[in-house]
Amino acid sequence: MNGPRMTGNGTNKDMLVATGDTVGGEGHRLRGGWGRGGWAATPRPVRWLVYLALIALAMLLPLQPIGSFMTPRSDWATVLFYPIGVYILLAIGLNVVVGQAGLLDLGYVAFFAIGGYMMAVLGTKVGWRFWEILAVGILASAVSGLILGAPTLRLRGDYLAIVTLGFGEIVRITAQNIDAIGGPRGIAGIPHPPSLSDFEIFGVKPFHYGVLDPRPYYYLLVVLIALTIIFCKRLENSRVGRAWAAIREDEDAAELMGVPTFRFKLAAFAIGASIGGATGVVWSAKVISIIPNNFPFILSATILAAVVLGGSGNIPGVMLGAFLVAWLPERFRVLQDYRVLAFGAVLVLMMALRPEGILPSRRRKAEFAEGAGGMGSLGAEVGSATSEASS
């Protein structure tokens, strides 16, 4: 049958690779996964110690000396929250959809918007508080992911991309046209999260959510990011993650092997959506005023760029991608104007030279090299100058 060309010995080995990655841990010889041999070989407690150290490091980031180096002309702590932190969390969410399940979503900003408006509307008009809204927001975004996905996920990859783009714009324009949720004025006066305690350490009150200090919000975001990473990693190593890998590499084969592809694609969409929505809720609670134009298509494209450039499918990769995409234009004002120009050029170049991204997972690298990993290969039908006989 026509399909992406598979190097090697046919289906068996690829399916094995699909499972091998997940068996991680004490020196299982199957390769797959980035740095798995060395990293996975370290005993669990050590790995957890490193994770905790990383989190502690993240907490320490908003220090003035670091700030004067990283963003000398704007407030480092604010920038750490947005765009850096928010982009990172959004990228992890989009990674589930694009990187894990291989579905191209060009309207991811819609879920960010839904979360943001949930916080705004429920906070100002209904009077709920942040933590309840967060729970509801996650649920509502997941549902919207299901609503968007149900009719569209049967479409081929490129059509899915356009439909999601259309959906993103529909959400934005609708928000602009409906006066009940503020119309073009948006919603202002969104309440901050209620302060958990006035406990103070090193001159900071990390649980006091006021206006002047962006750091408590940043800490909240770090916790959220950590939880999301744990969640996504667990998913990746579970049956769900394996199914996504199979779908990503060759959907038809997966279907034939008995994987209920539609259901898992829907799950990916819903999970990605809920992460986007959660981010929206937290961001909205900090900035306290939102307008429809906060959610343009270019933000979807930016997060996609972050995921793709960083290394889709690999969480450290997309985090790095998001960090670069968020921080570089802030740091180098010259880049600010040419930011999108640079994005575009880098996207084209990367796809030509290194489509797996800066920090890819080993498996994704292999997939891209084979021309698999999402929707088959370009011009598979028309072939290339050195076209081998297809299987």
What is the longest distance spanned by two Cα atoms in the chain? 70
Binding-site size, another protein (CB under 8 A): 106
In whole angstroms, the minimum distance from the beta carbon of 267 to another protein comes to 20
By beta-carbon proximity to another protein, the closer residue of 1 and 126 is 1
In whole angstroms, the minimum distance from the beta carbon of 334 to another protein comes to 7
Do the strands 187-188 and 289-290 form a parallel or antiparallel pair, or are they unpaired?
Answer: antiparallel
CA-to-CA distance for 364 and 367, rounded, in angstroms?
Answer: 5
Residue 23 lies near another protein (rule: CB under 8 A):
no
Could you tell me the two tokens for 57? 């490091």
* H or E element, residue 290: strand 289-290
By beta-carbon proximity to another protein, the closer residue of 10 and 135 is 10
By beta-carbon proximity to another protein, the closer residue of 138 and 286 is 286
CA-to-CA distance for 142 and 271, rounded, in angstroms?
Answer: 6
In whole angstroms, the minimum distance from the beta carbon of 376 to another protein comes to 3
By beta-carbon proximity to another protein, the closer residue of 5 and 231 is 5
SS (H, E, C) 143-199: HHHHHHHHHHCCCCHHHHHHHHHHHHHHHHHHHHHCHHHCHHHCEECCCCCCCCCCC
CA-to-CA distance for 250 and 3, rounded, in angstroms?
Answer: 8
Residue 203 lies near another protein (rule: CB under 8 A):
no
Which value, to the nearest 10 degrees, does the dihedral of the CA atoms of residues 359, 67, 283, 145 take?
0
Residue 340 lies near another protein (rule: CB under 8 A):
yes
**Contact assessment for residue 324 and residue 309, using Cβ atoms and an 8 Å cutoff:** yes
Residue 7 lies near another protein (rule: CB under 8 A):
no
CA-to-CA distance for 325 and 79, rounded, in angstroms?
Answer: 12
Q: Say which residues have a Cβ less than 8 Å from residue 75's Cβ, sequence separation at least 6.
A: 67, 214
By beta-carbon proximity to another protein, the closer residue of 2 and 11 is 2
By beta-carbon proximity to another protein, the closer residue of 264 and 283 is 283
Q: Which amino acid is at 114?
A: I
Site for another protein in 183-202 (CB under 8 A): 183-186, 188-189
Residue 205 lies near another protein (rule: CB under 8 A):
no
By beta-carbon proximity to another protein, the closer residue of 136 and 358 is 358
Which value, to the nearest 10 degrees, does the dihedral of the CA atoms of residues 36, 248, 101, 14 take?
-30
In whole angstroms, the minimum distance from the beta carbon of 104 to another protein comes to 6
By beta-carbon proximity to another protein, the closer residue of 22 and 78 is 78
In whole angstroms, the minimum distance from the beta carbon of 20 to another protein comes to 15
CA-to-CA distance for 122 and 64, rounded, in angstroms?
Answer: 35
Site for another protein in 370-389 (CB under 8 A): 371-387
In whole angstroms, the minimum distance from the beta carbon of 236 to another protein comes to 18
Can you tell me which of 137, 214, 310, 313 binds another protein, judged by CB under 8 A? 214
Site for another protein in 109-148 (CB under 8 A): none
Of 314, 286, 305, the C-alpha closest to 348 is: 305
Site for another protein in 237-296 (CB under 8 A): 252, 287-289, 291, 293-294
In whole angstroms, the minimum distance from the beta carbon of 176 to another protein comes to 5
Site for another protein in 58-87 (CB under 8 A): 68-69, 72-75, 77-79, 82-83
Can you tell me which of 141, 144, 176, 274 binds another protein, judged by CB under 8 A? 176
By beta-carbon proximity to another protein, the closer residue of 226 and 288 is 288
Q: Say which residues have a Cβ less than 8 Å from residue 258's Cβ, sequence separation at least 6.
A: none
Calculate ∠ Cα 205-89-79, nearest 5°. Answer: 55
Residue 222 lies near another protein (rule: CB under 8 A):
no
In whole angstroms, the minimum distance from the beta carbon of 221 to another protein comes to 15
